[in-house]
A and B are shown apart, each in its own frame.
Chain A
Amino acid sequence: MTLQITEVCVNCWACVDVCPNEAIYADRPHLLIDDAKCTECLGDHAEPQCAAICPIECAIVGELGDPLNPPGSLTGIPPATLAELGLLAAGGR
């Protein structure tokens, strides 16, 4: 049970500082989550902290590649508009 970071990550480090398990580490081209350490914050917080602070839609995904912050959920910009502008993230890995 672990979360993953996708290629739309902008390396802002916000998740690194709030992860209770110190599971997130710097890598290229973007930060990664250590499978062995991630608990999805179960027992620590009501919601996974990386996903609670991440500003980028679709950057944090679950095991099946499902985005915790789907398109439009953070910026309020409708997915259709994002798609039109070619700004829509792929979603999965």
Chain B
Amino acid sequence: MELPVISNAPAEKSGGCSASGCGSAPEALAHLPEDIRRKVQDHPCYSEEAHHHFARMHVAVAPACNIQCHYCNRKYDCANESRPGVVSELLDPEQAVRKVLAVAAAIPQMSVLGIAGPGDALANPRRTFATFRALAEKAPDLKLCLSTNGLMLPQYVDEIARHNIDHVTITINCLDAEIGARIYPWIYWQNCRLRGVEAARILIGQQQKGLEMLAARGILVKVNSVLIPGVNDAHLPEVSRTVKAKGAFLHNVMPLIAEAGHGTWYGLTGQRSPSAAELQALQDACAGDMAMMRHCRQCRADAVGLLGEDRGAEFTLDRIDAMDIDYAAAMARREEVRAALLGRLAAARTPAVTEAVTAAARPVLMAVAAKNGVVGEHFGHAREFLVYEASPAGVRFIGHRQAARYCGGADRCGDGDAAPESILERTIAALAGCEAVLCAKVGIEPWGRLEAAGIAPNGEHALEPIEDAVRAVYAEMAAAGKLAQAAAERKVA
């Protein structure tokens, strides 16, 4: 099969960033029972802490979908795209298994294999479960997970349990069918295409039933929601409360990605995406109810590697065929790496205490150009920035901002010559709200532009662990009297 397709489900798993501990990670999941924490400690999509170190991959064996979402365009195919659902190479189950084994041999940090599309995992049950069945036999150490829109979930819960799949992600954008009708134009249900509120009601009912059934079987459920301003934003805190009550252990609110160039209904009708501040505010509003995930990179359905990176191009089928792999040795190597990483993580957990800062100091957002858990990236090389909030209570991870994100549509596709000027402008705009940016180095030109934008460039903490560096900069700001000013006044001052 050679399919360039696109998908529906906003991906959940995602790709590699760069820090050592995204701040809040251990606390965010601290309320969970010990057995669940053990299950997710090496899962990059569920544990903020793990995502800096453990890798995942998605295999694109599930091209078909049984619903349409207004944020998805099944026709879109672009090598420069990194949205969920976009893939370059569709695989049959046998090819997928070969690819997984090759990747898991080359990347011993790999702990998770997921099926997330490019359509819906459970709209392709034969291909999905054939892949899981073979992998459970050949690489029993890998955690298996799938993501689904939930329409066919109740029907397949038993089969999911039988294949020892212990993590499932359901995309739930609403509980209210009237809102659903503004997100889902149709579903394929019992041999018919259904539309409108009736279709949304069925989909929502199946999602909720599937969630309850999974929870009853002890299978971990994460819920993904796409934040669509003006459509479901006010409704998502209720979604969060409800899915928590029904047993979901983590809620991942992701920003809508909508641009006219993507050819989606939302993109073409002018529906806007949320700002980083809106996303954060909503995640904070939901956080009172349950653990929120903030490190999702909305990765592709064929992503490979750490969250935030994609090494898929290294593992095309022709390349895999040329590899000589000792599968048993690879599995033993993964076990060694896993044990070493978990040991390191346990040792590195340090209490977040900020000295020298008075309790009245205001919180400050800082962006970090991170690599492998330290302030390790050059400003100009960073593809994304991690955003941390420093406050008298400590340092917590807030989210990530893309330096120069998705491709700008067909007219600009593949064009590597965008003016550096405009890239810098876009990056600075992406850092809105941050008062400092920590990186290994910054050039003179961006330095001046950052300062002019009220974002202090800082290269003093190169190669220091992220949270230590953020804490130190916060203390420096306190010592300089900058924390007494209100954030709004600081530019003028």
Interface of A toward B, CB cutoff 8 Å: 8, 10-14, 16-18, 26, 28, 45-47, 49, 52-53, 55-56, 74-77, 81, 85, 87
The answer to whether B143 has its CB under 8 Å from any CB of chain A is: no
Residue from A10, A14, A47 within 8 A of B75 (CB atoms):
A10
- In the assembled complex, 19 residue pairs joining A and B whose CB atoms fall closer than 8 Å, in A order, are A10-B3, A10-B74, A11-B3, A11-B5, A12-B3, A12-B5, A12-B63, A12-B118, A12-B119, A14-B66, A17-B126, A18-B188, A46-B191, A47-B191, A52-B188, A53-B188, A53-B193, A85-B260, A87-B263
Given known A75-B68, A77-B268, A85-B268, contact A10–B188 (CB-CB < 8 A): no
Q: A77-B265, A87-B263 are in contact. List 18 more A-B contacts (CB 8 A).
A: A10-B4, A10-B6, A10-B74, A12-B65, A13-B3, A14-B65, A17-B123, A18-B191, A26-B1, A28-B2, A45-B191, A46-B191, A47-B191, A53-B188, A74-B185, A75-B68, A77-B268, A81-B268
Complex alpha-carbon distance, A87 and B75, angstroms: 10
Residue from A11, A46, A56 within 8 A of B63 (CB atoms):
A11
Complex alpha-carbon distance, A45 and B260, angstroms: 37
Complex alpha-carbon distance, A11 and B60, angstroms: 13
Closest to B7 in A: A12
Complex alpha-carbon distance, A18 and B123, angstroms: 10
Q: Which residues of A contact B68 (CB under 8 A)?
A: 55, 74-75
Q: How far is the CB of A30 from chain B (nearest CB, A)?
A: 10
Closest to B120 in A: A14
Q: Using a CB-CB cutoff of 8 Å, which residues 133-185 of chain B contact chain A?
A: 185
* CB-based contact B192/A14 at 8 Å: no
Q: Which residues of A contact B3 (CB under 8 A)?
A: 10-13
The answer to whether B249 has its CB under 8 Å from any CB of chain A is: no
Q: Which residues of B contact A28 (CB under 8 A)?
A: 2
Instruction: Compute the total of residue contacts between A and B using a CB distance below 8 Å.
Output: 83
Flag B30-55 by CB within 8 Å of A: 1 or 0 each. Answer: 00000000000000000000000000
Q: How far is the CB of B271 from chain A (nearest CB, A)?
A: 12
Secondary structure of the A contact surface, majority rule: loop
Q: Which residues of B contact A55 (CB under 8 A)?
A: 65, 68, 74
Residue of A8, A28, A87 ringed by the most chain B CB atoms within 10 A:
A87
Q: How far is the CB of A44 from chain B (nearest CB, A)?
A: 9
Q: Using a CB-CB cutoff of 8 Å, which residues 50-99 of chain B contact chain A?
A: 63-66, 68, 70, 73-75, 77, 90
Contact-residue bracket for chain B: 20 to 34
Q: Which residues of A contact B24 (CB under 8 A)?
A: none
* CB-based contact B65/A47 at 8 Å: no
Q: Which residues of A contact B372 (CB under 8 A)?
A: none
Q: Which residues of B contact A26 (CB under 8 A)?
A: 1
* CB-based contact A49/B6 at 8 Å: no
Q: Which residues of A contact B2 (CB under 8 A)?
A: 11, 28
The answer to whether B402 has its CB under 8 Å from any CB of chain A is: no
Residue from A14, A46, A85, A87 within 8 A of B64 (CB atoms):
A14
Q: Using a CB-CB cutoff of 8 Å, which residues 436-486 of chain B contact chain A?
A: none
Closest to A84 in B: B268
* CB-based contact A47/B5 at 8 Å: no
Closest to A69 in B: B193
Q: Which residues of B contact A11 (CB under 8 A)?
A: 1-5, 63, 90
Complex alpha-carbon distance, A82 and B130, angstroms: 38
Residue of A8, A13, A26, A55 ringed by the most chain B CB atoms within 10 A:
A55
Q: How far is the CB of B270 from chain A (nearest CB, A)?
A: 11
* CB-based contact B193/A12 at 8 Å: no
Complex alpha-carbon distance, A54 and B208, angstroms: 26
* CB-based contact A56/B185 at 8 Å: no
Residue of B73, B119, B193, B265 ringed by the most chain A CB atoms within 10 A:
B193
Flag B1-25 by CB within 8 Å of A: 1 or 0 each. Answer: 1111110000000000000000000
Q: How far is the CB of A89 from chain B (nearest CB, A)?
A: 9
The answer to whether B379 has its CB under 8 Å from any CB of chain A is: no
The answer to whether B186 has its CB under 8 Å from any CB of chain A is: yes
Q: Which residues of B contact A45 (CB under 8 A)?
A: 191
Complex alpha-carbon distance, A13 and B185, angstroms: 20
Q: How far is the CB of B488 from chain A (nearest CB, A)?
A: 41
Q: Which residues of A contact B260 (CB under 8 A)?
A: 85
Q: How far is the CB of B447 from chain A (nearest CB, A)?
A: 40
* CB-based contact A76/B192 at 8 Å: no
Complex alpha-carbon distance, A8 and B5, angstroms: 12
The answer to whether B206 has its CB under 8 Å from any CB of chain A is: no
The answer to whether B124 has its CB under 8 Å from any CB of chain A is: yes
Given known A46-B191, A46-B192, A52-B193, contact A85–B63 (CB-CB < 8 A): no
Which 6 pairs between the two chains have the least Cβ-Cβ distance?
A: A14-B64, A53-B188, A55-B74, A11-B3, A12-B63, A52-B193
Closest to B125 in A: A17
* CB-based contact A47/B193 at 8 Å: yes
Complex alpha-carbon distance, A74 and B123, angstroms: 18
* CB-based contact A13/B4 at 8 Å: no
